[in-house]
Every structure is written in structure tokens, then in C-alpha cells.
Amino acid sequence: MTPSIPSNSNPDQARPWHTLEVEKTLELLSSDAESGLTTVEAQERLQQYGPNELQETAGRSSWEILLDQFKNIMLLMLILVALISGILDLVDLRSGKLAAGEIPFKDTIAILLIVVLNGILGYLQESRAEKALAALKKLSSPKVRIIRDGRQVEVEGKTLVPGDIMLVEAGVQISADGRLIEEANLQIRESALTGEAQAVNKQASVHLSDETSLGDRINLVFQGTEVVQGRGKVIVTGTGMKTELGKIADMLQSVESEDTPLQQRMTQLGNVLVSGSLVLVAIVIVGGMIQSRFSSGRWDWGVLQDLVEVSLSMAVAVVPEGLPAVITVTLALGTQRMVRRHALIRKLPAVETLGSVTTICSDKTGTLTQNKMVVQRVETGSQSFRVAGEGYIPTGEFYLGDQQVAVEQYPDLQTLMLGCVLCNDAMLQHEKDQWTILGDPTEGALIVLAGKGGVDKEPVLRQMPRVREFPFSSERKRMSVICRAGDKGQANSQSPYLMFTKGSPELILERCTHIQMGDKKEPLRDEQRTQILEQNNQMASVGLRVLGFSYKPMDNVPPEGSEETEEQKLVWLGLVGMLDAPRPEVRDAVAKCKQAGIRAMMITGDHQLTAQAIAQDLGIAQVGDRVLTGQQLQKFSPEELDQQVDDVNIYARVAPEHKLRIVQSLQRRGRFVAMTGDGVNDAPALKQADIGIAMGITGTDVSKEASDMVLLDDNFATIVAATEEGRTVYSNIRRFIKYILGSNIGEVLTIAAAPLLGLGGVPLSPLQILWMNLVTDGLPALALAVEPAEPDVMRRPPMNPRESIFARGLGSYMIRIGIIFAIISIALMVVAYRYFPDDWKTMVFTTLCLAQMGHALAVRSNTRLTIELNPFSNPYLLWAVTLTTALQLLLLYVPFLQDFFGTTPLTLQELGICLGFSSLMFVWVELEKLFIRWYKSRQ
């Protein structure tokens, strides 16, 4: 049935790998299942086949991104303004009214230029943002465990080559196509490839017919699919674009560029502004015409032209041309600051929504604690041992009381040590004088323990190879391995096989009928059970993580999936208590949360007493606070859970599905939840949470895929830091929106006032307005976007995620400031029109610009006066204000710029008057702060 194989073994030809047997596959790819490729071979093959990367064809094309820029209603309105302004110039040209020296179509060209520039800027920013996000995602891209030069190593997925021997386990996203060499309980979700959500049971031992469809090739694994359960050893058959996924790479989900809630709201705001300005334009034109009709007694078309020009200026003035750019830059800077604090943002909306978090649900192990486990105590049926030794160094001593003892004297302890190394998927490595752990730290600690007792993993494993396993999962909270009994007749067993089971002590003990005492196996008595549970509680209540151990002799190898029947009638071996110290920085982070009105909660699979001890130590809970266990939670209806969820901060012995229920319940209570997770089964809870947080170090690929943010250091304190950044970003965005839109309202009112007050002509040309909105508003706004966090950001309650950006006084501030702005500049306009008729327009222009500088300086803080702030804490703002003022002066005094912008050089006296009026703006904002202070102090 095996189809003929072409004699030249060139594996990049797509072969029917599923039809081949393992040996044939290894031979064709000239690799070895035990020792893998050598580094040299791997390098050669990397040259030959290229890196294991998908060429990303997906995503929006550059053209699409560019076109998207012009779908913006504000830009469309500007284009319209440009056209009308062009037509007016044409009319002027014909009637010869265009003033000498004035450049025709200047405004049209300038506006169109701005539109194009805006489009290009938006394009650059968006494509950069997409690239940056893609790069960030690559940062969290999976590492792969493979065998090279006969050793297990972790490498970057992109260095994989055909022939590599790859090890996969639950939680991994597979990095290349391959043929299974061996597998245990391997289940893989292939929905990325086949669309089928149900996980597929994989089988190494079969070979299939040529026609077998992709979804049924159970002896192959495919790139991009997710291991849900079990383990497997795979020989890589295809990499890069030669994989099944590569073949359909066009269909790959692209890097989504989601608009953040804020960006969406800004689009809405644009619509409101544009329609608002159209209404205003109509009022001005109709009002102006009626007024001229009454005063002159006839319809005057010259007046209409003036009014249209005023309207064009108003339309340009109302649009915050600089705003979208400033928002994008702020969000981008936010992600950068967060990554510097070890929080990697995967979805842009998280940057601003992080500031709304009210509740952080955190794992215990690794996030609140250091995940550097060290075994301190071992309790066998007969003895209590204390273990000494440092870190991961596998040498140390066992003590009984003060007496140092040798492990060999205690057969039950020795069997337990065997269980430690056999029932274990981790590896202890020694490199450059450093002992490190590859795999689960809990299991690493057990290898170190065995090492201290003189039991080495490698030789034991050779004597007693594993023949079957029932893997660990957070639901089962235990795992078993079945091995050959070896020639020593371990644990006094005459049987050919031994099963070792370790896990949550209560669960293991429940399944035990006997207990190992010294070298004898005895029936387990009730008082012994009670005593063991007592010891367990005692260790847990000082914060130790406790595992129970057992074994069972077996006559034959049980079939796969028979764990429920096999993990019964076990022989109890003992308890192992390990210390996992809390991270020192977490205590402060928890305190910071409290001040910030954020609730910290612990959700763990560990024992309730361990959870409680650590939670109390960190300040997450007080002595006497309640703990809910998964078992209790299971029985609650959603309503019952809703009643409890606000009072309980510790959830112990939970399974991932409970996490989902807890998030949902918190959300029903109106909380805004950040939730951490590391396992495959945490993915639904991470997706459900408002901010799903994955672990950068210990997290599975699947959990990272489902998350909004990845903690590069797995640290709870990093969540709090990111929250702080999120709050700063949000308050800065509010700050410059206040600043920019307040000024726009002021401009519009001033322009509209001119014809209504009977002043002849348009005070500001569209070009001058564009200059203000982009340069004199834009530069200071960018500087306000990097304003350092106010000292009280983490001392006020979280903001309501559903609140409008204009909430908490921002909308009324904008309107109030807009009106003040208008009053100041209208007053100046009237004075200037009267006393300086030649320069009055330039004076209005200059006053508006300078007043905005004062506004920028004052708006830095809502509560503190500008003189109370350190002026150098935001040097960018000082630069921006200086630079903008200098530019404005250039506009007034450089002849070429005068012509272009239609300005006139002001005398010193005129300039002084402008400065005087504009400083009123600054004074007003400061007085407001004083007034609010006085008002608050009276309450």
C-alpha cells in the first residue's frame, strides 16, 4: 500500500508522509529518533530549506491602508472646502478683484496639501502601528523543545528544519509539520487548519492510505495547531511555506488592527463636528444675508461671497485635523512604555482600557510567588524528614530532627524518591555553573530533591523506562506514569510494572488503600489518613505547596484512557512540602492596588490553606477571610455565586472552568476584570475577561494567543504597573482633547462673530486655521501626550469603562473654555479693528496662537497651579511652546511667509496687546483651579 518513493530523497517535495512508517520517515529524512540532528546538519539544512517562517501575505495591503485614510468624513469635508475655495478664486480672477501680489488658489492648494499630508501621515502611522504590533507578537512567539546533538534544547521556532525531532505537550502551538514517532494521550485541536473545533486523537503507530484526508491523518501533526492534551515526539517533515498551513497562508488571520474604543468614539465625534459645523454654516449664511438685506434693502451677492468665505474658514476650524495623529502616537508610546515595564500589549485597545480595571484575578504560582520551588519537608508513613540545601543545586542533606540521615536506610523514602524522578516531565540542567530547570518548576524541585537523596534521574529512567502515562491537567490535579519495574525489584515488587501517581494530597489519599511503612506495605488505617491530612494542613498553613505520592505494582500495561479505573487501590508513599516564596515586590503592588481602588484576588489550583497563607502574607486577604474552593463553587448557581463573589478574595483548588465562571460573575456585578492564566484550558477565561493576561515565561502558546497582554516576567507587580500606565495614557488623552477641542470651539465662535458684529472680511483664512490646528495646537498636544503620570494616578478610583470621554466635566470644560477663548479673542478683535485697522486680522491670528500656548502650560494639571508644578518634569512642553511661538513670529516677519499666510508684520505695541489679551487665557485657567480649590475646601 505504500506508494513508490522517489529515489532521490528530497524532503521538500511534498511526500505522503501519513502513508509511511516511522522508520521509513526517519530514514528518508536521515535523522535519529533518540539523538536528533547535529548542530552542523541542522545549519546545513537551514541553508537548504530556509527559515521556518510563513510569508505574511495577509493583512491590509498598503493601498488599502492608504485608501482607508480618505474615508474619514473630516478629510472629505476639507476636500470640499478646497474645491469651493478654488471656485471663489476663479470668480475673483475673472472679475479681477484678486488683490495684487496674492497667489491664486493658494488656500485650495494648501488645503489639498494638508489633506494629502494628513492621509500620508495617517498611513505611515497605521502601517507602523501594524508592524509594531506584529513585531510585539513575534516577541511572544513560541519556543520549541527539540532534540539536537542527543540533548534536549529549546530553540526558536523559525530555526526548525526537516529532520528535527520535536517534543510537543499540552499547551503548545505546533511550529512545523511532522510525523509522530511516539505519543501519549495526544489530542490536538486543528481548527486553524480544518475548521473542526473538536480535538483529534493522534496515533503514532498507524500508517494510512494515500487518500486519507487532512483531518484524518492521525499520525501527522500540523503547524499552527494546538496540543490540548498529552505529549508527543515528532519528526519534522515540513517547515515554512512547505507546511499545510503555508499552503493556505493567504487565508491566515492577519494581525488585526482593531480600533480602540477611543478611536471609535473619535470617529463618531468627527461626524458630530462635521454636521454641527454644517448647521453653523447655514445659520451664518442665512443670518448674514437676511441682515444685509435689512440694512441695505437688497440682496447683495458680494456679501454672499464674504459669507461663504467665512463659512469655509469655520468648516476648517471645527475639524481637529491634528487629533487623530496625536491619539495614535499616544497609544503607540503607551505600548512602548508598557513593554519597558515588561507588559507586552497584544491588542491595542488594552492600552486605554487597562486604566479601567477594577479587579485583578491572579494565579498564585509564579505570578504572586517566585516559582522557584524548594522542597523543605518530606513526610513518609513512618518519618518526618527535613531537607536542607540551596536553590536548584541537587546536593544537600536529609535530617530527622537534628540528626543527618542517609536516604538508603529508609526504603519508603527511597521509593518516594523514585516516584519523584519517574513521575516527572521536567529536566534539570547544568550550564555555566548554573542549575536551571526545563519544564514545570514544581517537578524540577522534585528532581532536585531526589538529587539531594542521591537518586539521579538519567540512570533510573534507563532502568525503568516509561511505558504509559496519564498526564497532569489542572482539572485532574494529578498525574501517573507506568514504568518497567527494573531489575532491582523496586519497592519490593515482584510485578513487571510499577505505576507512580502524584498530585493533590487529598485526591491521592482518597485513592489509596495501603501505606508503605519502611519496606512493608500495610493496609491504610483511618487514623493514619487523619494524621496525613493533618500533616498536609499543617504544611499548607505555613504556605508550603504540598504534593502527595503513591505507587502501585502492575502486571501489565493498562490501555490509554483508563486512568479512572487504574488510579485506584494505590499505596501511599508520603507528602512532599515545597516552599515557593512570595515575590517581594508583590506586597507593595497589592498595597498600591488598594489605594487605587483595585481589588486583587487570588485564584489557584493549590490547597486552600497554602493559598490563604500566601494571600495573607501579601495582603490580599486578612486573617479569618473566607476561601471558596472549586468544589463549593461547583454547587453554586450563577446567582449564588454573584452574591459571594464580591466578598471572597481567595479561590482555591479551582479548575480552569471555574475561572470562567468567576470572571462572568464579576462582570455581571459590573466589574472590569483583568485575569491571568497560563494553561490551555485557561483560554476561554482569558477571552472572557476584559483584559486577558498570559504568562510570558510559563504560559502556554494557546493562552498567549487568547490574551490581550503578556507578562514578560510573569509578575503580578507588572499588571499593576501596566494599569498605572493605562491610567496615565487615558488621562493624557483627555487632557489634550480638552486642549485641542476647546481651541477649535473658540476659533469657530470668533470667526462667526466677525460678520455678525458687522466687521468686514474674514478674520482668519483657512490656511491660517490649518496652521493653528496642525502646528500650534498639534505640537503642544503631542507634548501633553507624554506628560508624566500625576502623582495621584494610583490614588484615585478606576474610571468607569463605559463612561464617555467627555464625562467628568470634560465636555463642559471644552465648551466653557471655548467660550472664554472666543470672548478674549472677540474682545481683541473689536479693539484691533477699531485702532489697528491694517493689522487686525493678524492680531486675531496671533492672539489665538499665543492664548493656546498659555492654555497648554496651564492644562498640565487639573488641580495644581502651574507655579506649583516642576516646569522641567515635561521638557517637551517647554520645547513645544518655545518652538511654536518662534514659528508664529517667523510667520509674521519673514516676507515670503507673510505672503503665503497673508499676515502683516505687527509693531511691538500690537504684539504687546496680543500678548496681554492672550495671557488672560492662562490666568483664567489658573483662576478656575483656585476657585475649585476654594469651593472644595468650603464643603
Q: Which residues are catalytic?
A: 363
Residues 529-548 as x/- pattern, contact with ligand ADP by CB under 6 A: ------------------x-
Contact range with ligand ADP by CB under 6 A, out of 128-136, 435-443, 461-469, 777-785: 435-443
Q: Which of ligand ADP, Mg ion, none interacts with 787 (beta carbon under 5 to 8 A by kind)?
A: none
Among residues 31, 229, 243, 365, which is the contact residue for ligand ADP, using CB under 6 A? 365
Q: Which is nearer to ligand ADP, 412 or 443 (CB)?
A: 443
Chain position carrying cell 542517609: 406
Contact range with ligand ADP by CB under 6 A, out of 130-138, 516-524, 598-606, 836-844: 598-606
Q: Which is nearer to ligand ADP, 148 or 653 (CB)?
A: 653
Q: Which is nearer to Mg ion, 239 or 703 (CB)?
A: 703
* Number of residues that make up the chain: 939
Q: Which of ligand ADP, Mg ion, none interacts with 671 (beta carbon under 5 to 8 A by kind)?
A: none
How far lies 636's CA from each of 359, 601, 641, 643, in Å? Answer: 21, 19, 6, 10
Distance CA 502, CA 511 (A): 11
Q: Is 658 in the site for ligand ADP (CB under 6 A)?
A: no
Among residues 207, 364, 661, 860, which is the contact residue for ligand ADP, using CB under 6 A? 364
Contact range with ligand ADP by CB under 6 A, out of 131-139, 440-448, 524-532, 835-843: 440-448
Among residues 183, 321, 606, 777, which is the contact residue for ligand ADP, using CB under 6 A? 606
Residues 392-431 as x/- pattern, contact with ligand ADP by CB under 6 A: ----------------------------------------
Residues in region 724-783 near ligand ADP by CB under 6 A: none
Contact 288, 303 (CB under 8 A): yes
Enumerate the β-bridge partners of residue 374: 579
Q: Which is nearer to ligand ADP, 607 or 671 (CB)?
A: 607
Q: Which of Mg ion, ligand ADP, none interacts with 547 (beta carbon under 5 to 8 A by kind)?
A: ligand ADP
Distance CA 545, CA 442 (A): 9
- Classified as helix, coil or strand, 186 is strand
Q: Which of Mg ion, ligand ADP, none interacts with 892 (beta carbon under 5 to 8 A by kind)?
A: none
Contact range with ligand ADP by CB under 6 A, out of 155-163, 193-201, 469-477, 562-570: 469-477
Q: Which is nearer to Mg ion, 229 or 846 (CB)?
A: 229
Contact range with ligand ADP by CB under 6 A, out of 604-612, 624-632, 782-790, 831-839: 604-612
Closest CA to 678 of 371, 350, 223, 257: 371
Ranked by CB distance to Mg ion, the top (closest) residue is 365
Q: Which of ligand ADP, Mg ion, none interacts with 699 (beta carbon under 5 to 8 A by kind)?
A: none
Q: Is 566 in the site for ligand ADP (CB under 6 A)?
A: no
Q: Which of ligand ADP, Mg ion, none interacts with 665 (beta carbon under 5 to 8 A by kind)?
A: none
- Classified as helix, coil or strand, 140 is coil
Closest CA to 633 of 655, 609, 611, 613: 655
Per DSSP, 764 falls in state S
Q: Is the dihedral of CA 328, 336, 680, 511 positive or negative?
A: negative
- Classified as helix, coil or strand, 650 is strand
Residues 501-520 as x/- pattern, contact with ligand ADP by CB under 6 A: -xxx----------------
Q: Is 328 in the site for ligand ADP (CB under 6 A)?
A: no
Q: Which is nearer to ligand ADP, 169 or 606 (CB)?
A: 606
- Which is it for strands 151-156 and 143-148: parallel, antiparallel or unpaired? antiparallel
Distance CA 347, CA 257 (A): 8
Q: Is 604 in the site for ligand ADP (CB under 6 A)?
A: yes
Closest CA to 183 of 437, 471, 428: 471
Q: Which is nearer to ligand ADP, 370 or 504 (CB)?
A: 504
Among residues 380, 415, 442, 888, which is the contact residue for ligand ADP, using CB under 6 A? 442
Ranked by CB distance to ligand ADP, the top (closest) residue is 605
Distance CA 774, CA 616 (A): 54
Distance CA 843, CA 915 (A): 10
Q: Smallest distance from the beta carbon of 449 to Mg ion, in angstroms?
A: 18
Q: Is 125 in the site for ligand ADP (CB under 6 A)?
A: no
Residues in region 636-665 near Mg ion by CB under 5 A: none
Residues in region 477-496 near ligand ADP by CB under 6 A: 477-479
Q: Which helix (H) or strand (E) holds 702?
A: helix 701-706
Contact range with ligand ADP by CB under 6 A, out of 72-80, 120-128, 265-273, 361-369: 361-369
C-alpha cell at 463: 532502568
End-to-end CA distance of the chain: 90
Q: Smallest distance from the beta carbon of 438 to ligand ADP, in angstroms?
A: 14
Dump the DSSP string for 390-434. -TT-S--EEEETTEEE-GGG-HHHHHHHHHHHHS---EEEEETTE
The number of C-alpha atoms within 13 Å of 611 and in the hemisphere containing its C-beta is: 25
Q: Smallest distance from the beta carbon of 718 to Mg ion, in angstroms?
A: 18
Q: Which of ligand ADP, Mg ion, none interacts with 608 (beta carbon under 5 to 8 A by kind)?
A: none
Q: Is the dihedral of CA 86, 88, 89, 95 positive or negative?
A: positive
Q: Which of ligand ADP, Mg ion, none interacts with 842 (beta carbon under 5 to 8 A by kind)?
A: none
The alpha carbon of 739 is separated from its chain's Cα centroid by a whole number of angstroms, namely 29
C-alpha cell at 890: 517667523
Contact 859, 735 (CB under 8 A): yes
Distance CA 706, CA 692 (A): 7
Q: Which of ligand ADP, Mg ion, none interacts with 442 (beta carbon under 5 to 8 A by kind)?
A: ligand ADP
Task: State the Cα angle at 220 between 219 and 222, rounded to 5°.
Answer: 155
Distance CA 60, CA 313 (A): 35
Q: Which is nearer to ligand ADP, 363 or 412 (CB)?
A: 363
Q: Smallest distance from the beta carbon of 478 to ligand ADP, in angstroms?
A: 5
Residues in region 308-367 near Mg ion by CB under 5 A: 365
How far lies 884's CA from each of 777, 877, 893, 925, in Å? Answer: 9, 10, 14, 20
Among residues 474, 723, 842, 903, which is the contact residue for ligand ADP, using CB under 6 A? 474
Q: Smallest distance from the beta carbon of 280 to ligand ADP, in angstroms?
A: 60
Which residues lie below 8 Å from residue 464, measured CB to CB, with a gap of 6+?
Answer: 418, 422, 483, 484, 485, 486, 490, 498
Distance CA 169, CA 260 (A): 35
Q: Which is nearer to Mg ion, 69 or 365 (CB)?
A: 365
Q: Which is nearer to ligand ADP, 242 or 364 (CB)?
A: 364
Q: Smallest distance from the beta carbon of 620 to Mg ion, in angstroms?
A: 18
Q: Which is nearer to ligand ADP, 337 or 661 (CB)?
A: 661
CB count, 10 Å around CB of 221? 28
Q: Which is nearer to ligand ADP, 163 or 548 (CB)?
A: 548
C-alpha cell at 163: 529532520
Q: Is 550 in the site for ligand ADP (CB under 6 A)?
A: no
Q: Would you state the torsion angle of the CA atoms of residues 914, 920, 923, 928, taken in this order, to the nearest 10 degrees?
A: -150
Phi first, then psi, for residue 919 (nearest 5°) are: -70, -15
C-alpha cell at 9: 530523497
Residues that bind Mg ion (CB under 5 A): 365
Residues that bind ligand ADP (CB under 6 A): 363-365, 440, 442-443, 472, 474, 477-479, 502-504, 547, 604-607
